Amino acid sequence: RGAKRRGVQALRKLKEAKLGIKTKVVKKERASSPITTTKLSSSIAAQYPARVELLPDLLDEPLDSVWKFQSYMPKRYFIKDALALHRELQSPSMYNNPSALLRLRLDLNMTLEKKTKFVEQSKQFIAMPHPFDHGQKRTILAFAKDPHIQVIANEAGAEITGGPELVKKVYQTVV
């Protein structure tokens, strides 16, 4: 159907060109299609979006034992208190799962003194003073052309260092 329509339009343009008729260019407005959120709906961030500004009409604490979650202010804990509650919940007398995962939602205030200043994007690693034991052995690769930098990377803790030849080995899944 679309190919036939394009063919008719092409024939009409040829006929108008022969007769010397100028056509009016009419811009078609596209109907905006709604954005589908099927992929986003499964993520936790989409299920619990951050509130940039807390609404003033939200109530502080519910009065009954049953309440609508969206109508009240979210309960906020300090990290120390949240970990203590998590440990208590996962204790042998409750769920008996001391190695249970903890989901942390951390809202950072990244505003500066002036509204025209912005926080620069971070493209660095953050040194963690207390590393997390995840139970997996991870290999650190360092890519550098200069052999001197490769030696420095080995001294810093990289297990495998190399240049372009190492990149080829990684692509071939040799390393």
Task: Identify the pLDDT of residue 5.
Answer: 67
Q: What is the pLDDT of residue 161?
A: 92
Give the start-to-end residue ranges of the domains of the chain.
Answer: 140-175
Top pLDDT among 26 and 175 is at 175
| C-beta pairs of 69-75 under 8 Å, 24+ apart in sequence | none
Segment 137-168, tens digit of pLDDT: 878 899 998 999 999 999 988 999 998 888 88
Look at 10-14, 120-124, 133-137, 141-145 and tell me which has the smallest mean pLDDT: 120-124
Mean pLDDT of the chain: 75
What 14-22 contacts at long range (C-beta under 8 Å, 24+ apart), as own/partner pairs, is none
DSSP-derived secondary structure for 55-91: -TTSBSS-SSSS--GGGBPPP---HHHHHHHHHHHTS
Per-residue confidence (pLDDT) for residue 26, from 0 to 100? 61
Residue 40 confidence (pLDDT): 44
Which pLDDT belongs to residue 65? 82
Position 38 scores a pLDDT of: 47
**Got the DSSP string for 89-127?**
HTSTTTT--TT-------------SSTT--PPPP-SPPP
Report the percent of the chain where pLDDT is more than 70. Answer: 65
The secondary structure of residue 132, as a DSSP letter, is -
Smallest CA-to-CA distance from 139 within 154, 122, 124 is with 154
Q: What's the whole-number mean pLDDT along residues 36-54?
A: 56
pLDDT at 170: 87
CA dist., res. 77 & res. 86, Å (int): 11
Least confident window among 9-13, 23-27, 147-151? 23-27
